[in-house]
Amino acid sequence: MEMVVLGIVGFMVVGVVGLFAMGGTPARLDQAKTGEVYSFTYLQPNTGVHKRHLVKVIDNSKLPEHTIERLNRQSDYRKNDKTFIRTDHLVTGKDKYGQIRNFYAERAIDCKKSWTGKLAYNFGIL
């Protein structure tokens, strides 16, 4: 009977730790380092759709003001959209399908750094 109780307790502890590890720890995308894996909801003001992303960080750039001003002048992306505002933290990430995307860190909410995500990427699981 003791073994059954210890087995159940052990299973519960492993389950809770596993769920916590899979979900990750609260983090900020603007502090991400190359190679780390983050899960977050991205606020997309253009469509109003807030999609969850799991990405491996390729680059984290702090854009200087003159670069933001140049992008605002030269880029055709949402050029006439008065509600679109570029911010200075741009994170480039790669998802499990190999798609590379840029994210303004200030639009990432419910951001978590995944403990197990880097291993999963390295083994081709994600």
Task: Write down the pLDDT at residue 48.
Answer: 74
Closest CA to 99 of 50, 51, 47, 33: 51
* Domain region containing 98: 2-122
The band of 19, judged by pLDDT with boundaries at 50, 70 and 90, is very low
Which of 15-19, 41-45, 117-121 has the least mean pLDDT?
Answer: 15-19
Q: How many domains does the chain have?
A: 1
Q: What are phi and psi of 45, to 5 degrees?
A: -70, -20
Task: Extract long-range pairs of 17-26: CB within 8 Å, 24+ residues apart.
Answer: 21/115, 21/116, 22/114, 22/116, 23/112, 23/114, 24/112, 24/113, 24/114, 24/115, 24/117, 25/112, 25/113, 25/115, 26/111, 26/112, 26/113
Mean pLDDT, the chain, whole residue set = 82
Task: Write down the pLDDT at residue 47.
Answer: 74
Sheet strands (E) in the chain: 25-26, 37-43, 50-62, 89-94, 100-104, 108-113
Helices (H), ranges, 64-116? 65-74
The band of 7, judged by pLDDT with boundaries at 50, 70 and 90, is low
Task: Write down the pLDDT at residue 16.
Answer: 46
Return d(Cα 37, Cα 56) in angstroms, integer: 4
If one counts every other C-beta atom within 10 angstroms of the C-beta of residue 118, the result is: 16
Task: Write down the pLDDT at residue 96.
Answer: 85
The band of 4, judged by pLDDT with boundaries at 50, 70 and 90, is low
The band of 21, judged by pLDDT with boundaries at 50, 70 and 90, is very low
Average pLDDT over residues 28-42: 94
Average pLDDT over residues 65-80: 89
Give me the percent of the chain exceeding a pLDDT of 70: 76
